[in-house]
């Protein structure tokens, strides 16, 4: 796989691209395509989170699990869907919490690119998925890569806010140096768990309070239709 990834990330993660696990990812994706499998997101968007949030711009990491598996949804940014695509239930719940937390009107548009462009790394732990088969690429090696991303941020940056929603994301806290960074944990925004601690977490206002305290520009969480 020709790794078309933003240059600052390419430099930061350079050793990873020659590891056996990364070669296995490449071989796995080639096999999937040779077998006629449809893979989301499209190849040009696999590293979309990195394109919009260069390494030196990362302020916040919002960790998801794997891409949406229905047609037209996955765009390489965790929880985000392209304009014109109905926001999925978890994203609707994120918007509900934003409305309660900071008064943001609930948008019809599910494209979170404006967050990414301000320094919110919208990172899925697994970067690809087979159409209509959730978690189908979870054993492909992607988590070795995204764990390396989290470790790199932890080791080389200071004061990043990690938003860990749900048990899966919270298991990644062992990769983060909590003496250098901030971790905010809550239940996952899925309809199955949002009322068990996601609603009312106030992570958006709390994130901005942490950033402002460090002299860092806060995130404008608004999404325009």
Q: Which one, of 143, 204, 197, 126, lies nearest residue 21 by Cα?
A: 143
% of the chain beyond a pLDDT of 90: 97
Please determine, for residue 2, whether its predicted confidence score (pLDDT) is greater than 60.
no
**Length of the chain in terms of residues written:** 225
Quote the mean pLDDT of the chain: 96
Question: Structure tokens of 96?
Answer: 């509900």
Report pLDDT digits (tens) over 140-158. 999 999 999 999 999 999 9
pLDDT score recorded for residue 60: 98
Catalytic, 56? Answer: no
Contacts of 48 (CB under 8 A, 6+ apart): 41, 75, 76, 77
pLDDT score recorded for residue 225: 77
Average pLDDT over residues 110-116: 98
Label each residue of 52-88 as H, E or C: HCCHHHCCEEEEECCCCCCCCCCCCCCCCCCCCCCCC
DSSP category for residue 133 = B
Catalytic residue among 2, 11, 66, 111: 66
Average pLDDT over residues 20-28: 96
């Amino acid at each position: 796989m020709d790794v078309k990834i933003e240059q600052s990330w390419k430099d930061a993660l350079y050793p990873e691209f020659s590891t056996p696990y990364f070669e296995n990812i490449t071989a796995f994706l080639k096999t999937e395509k040779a077998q006629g499998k449809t893979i989301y997101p499209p190849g040009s968007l696999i590293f979309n989170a990195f394109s919009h949030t260069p390494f030196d711009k990362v302020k916040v990491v919002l960790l998801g699990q794997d891409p949406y598996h229905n047609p037209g949804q996955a765009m390489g940014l965790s929880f985000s869907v392209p304009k014109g695509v109905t926001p999925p239930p978890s994203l609707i719940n994120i918007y509900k919490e934003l409305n309660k937390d900071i008064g943001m009107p609930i948008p019809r548009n599910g494209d979170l690119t404006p967050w990414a462009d301000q320094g919110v790394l919208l990172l899925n732990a697994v970067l690809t998925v087979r159409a209509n088969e959730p978690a189908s690429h979870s054993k492909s090696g992607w988590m070795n890569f995204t764990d390396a991303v989290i470790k790199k941020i932890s080791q080389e940056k200071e004061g990043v806010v990690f938003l860990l929603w749900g048990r899966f994301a919270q298991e990644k806290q062992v990769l983060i140096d909590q003496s250098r960074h901030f971790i905010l944990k809550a239940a996952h925004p899925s309809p199955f768990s949002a009322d068990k601690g996601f609603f009312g977490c106030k992570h958006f206002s709390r994130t901005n309070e942490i950033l402002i305290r460090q002299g860092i520009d806060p995130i404008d969480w608004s999404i325009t239709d």
